[in-house]
Amino acid sequence: MNKVERNDMWTLLLSTVRYSFGRRTYMSSLAPELVFRYKDYLSKGQLQQIKEEVEKEINCHKVMEEEHIQKDWLGHKCDVLSWVKFKNDLEELLKGK
């Protein structure tokens, strides 16, 4: 069995997070779980980039909802809550790195 390299893990995790935005499935909880499971493969800068991308999507969701453009940009309410928790958890993790 081949070993996963750091750069490969970074690509896989970032792609998973990006793919998961707006899905109305288990992905909004699985993506954060995977990032935290494999966080040791990621640099502080890479974790920061993931946090910023999550923040951007949360902000887009808020604007879309406030402007009555689309109320479910990030998925159902439970999905939105999952992304907000993920962002908060990343902020806590980054404080300690």
Sequence ranges of the domains in the chain: 6-96
Distance CA 85, CA 59 (A): 14
Q: Do the beta carbons of residue 38 and residue 59 sit within 8 Å?
A: no
What is the tens place of the pLDDT at every residue in 52-94? 999 999 999 999 888 888 778 888 899 999 999 999 999 999 9
Residue 38's pLDDT is what? Answer: 96
What pTM was estimated for this model as a whole?
0.90
Length of the chain, in residues: 97
**pLDDT tens digits for 21-54?**
998 889 999 999 999 999 999 999 999 999 999 9
Residue with tokens 């896989």: 12
